């Protein structure tokens, strides 16, 4: 019985990983590729770690396996955010079918400044003060 459950977890985990790999190969630009890999691969690893903890069924192994799952769930979004941000700043092209790019009107790639869209004449200019270090 437990073998059947374990096999199901293993096969579905491998299936999600295959989906992530197909996504990273087939998707058209950087952000959609990250959309495929970050979520599907993390879910695949989580399913396989559940299978591992079912296989060993010891407290120490189960704790470590769930530690891996929690660690991946915490770090995968952070890594994806950082890489996506760097990719946008580096200037990787977006897909031609992209519907909305909210950064484009507000972000200035030359000065690396981002406007909020709520600026008035008064707060748009930034004046140096005495407390600023030169």
Partner 1 sequence: MDIVIVITLAVMSVSLCLAFIRLVLGPSLPDRVVALELFSTLIVGIIGVVAIMTDVASFIDVTIVMALMAFLAAIGFARFLERGGPRDD
* Residues near partner 1 (CB under 8 A): 3, 6-7, 10-11, 13-15, 17-18, 20-22, 24-25, 30, 33-34, 37, 41-42, 44-45, 48-49, 51-52, 55-56, 58, 60-61, 64-65, 67-68, 71-72, 75-76, 78-79, 82-83, 85-87, 89-90, 92
User: What is the nearest approach in angstroms of partner 1 to the Cβ of residue 128?
Assistant: 25
Residue 89 vs 119, nearer CB to partner 1: 89
Q: How many CB atoms within 10 Å of residue 43?
A: 20
Pairwise CA distance, residues 52 & 44, whole Å: 12
First to last CA, the chain: 70
Residue 3 vs 127, nearer CB to partner 1: 3
User: What is the nearest approach in angstroms of partner 1 to the Cβ of residue 67?
Assistant: 7
Note whether 54 and 5 are within 8 A (CB): yes
User: What is the nearest approach in angstroms of partner 1 to the Cβ of residue 96?
Assistant: 14
Residue 52 vs 129, nearer CB to partner 1: 52
Calculate ∠ Cα 115-125-134, nearest 5°: 105
Question: 3-class DSSP state for residue 113?
Answer: strand
- Which token pair is 37? 């890999």
In DSSP terms, 107 is beta-bridged to: 114
User: What is the nearest approach in angstroms of partner 1 to the Cβ of residue 129?
Assistant: 27
């Amino acid at each position: 019985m437990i073998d059947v459950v374990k096999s199901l977890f293993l096969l579905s985990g491998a299936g999600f990983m295959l989906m992530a790999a197909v996504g990273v190969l087939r998707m058209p630009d950087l952000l959609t590729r990250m959309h495929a890999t970050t979520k599907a691969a993390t879910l695949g690893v989580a399913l396989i770690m559940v299978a591992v903890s079912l296989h060993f069924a010891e407290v120490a192994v189960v704790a470590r396996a769930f530690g891996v799952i929690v660690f991946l769930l915490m770090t995968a979004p952070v890594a994806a955010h950082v890489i996506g941000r760097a990719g946008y700043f580096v200037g990787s092209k977006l897909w031609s079918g992209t519907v909305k790019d909210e950064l484009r009107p507000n972000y200035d790639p030359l000065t690396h400044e981002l406007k909020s869209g709520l600026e008035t004449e008064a707060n748009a200019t930034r004046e140096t003060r005495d407390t600023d270090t030169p």
